Structure 1
């Protein structure tokens, strides 16, 4: 993957960030922009807004995958 991004089976899907109790769409697993040696999950809030980062181990509660929510491969 480009830009040092890592592959993850939940990319493009709705997940919960248990560190803050917030849901968002997993956009990337990639190095932190401030600490390049630290890999973080990049999440986007439903309906738009400011993206945030969290530890990939904090991701849980994957939304059910249906034909309408399956990310493009």
Structure 2
């Protein structure tokens, strides 16, 4: 058997995007008011965004499979 540069790509996992709705609400409020420095106009959306970000779960790093490492290591035996 002869495999030239054999490599397996890991599957792409879809990550959940937390607080996207609150962030878009905040950005649209800034766009509607025309001034991002006025705290009174967008105070409610800023508060909801802050609360969402404070309570959002911290993403956990997952273990990456080491199949590419082992394929590269065993490649010299496959030739």
Q: TM-score, normalised by structure 2?
A: 0.24
Larger RCO of the pair (alpha carbons < 8 Å, separation 6+): 2
**TM-score (structure 1 length as normaliser):** 0.25
Larger helix percent: 2
Structure with the larger strand share: 1
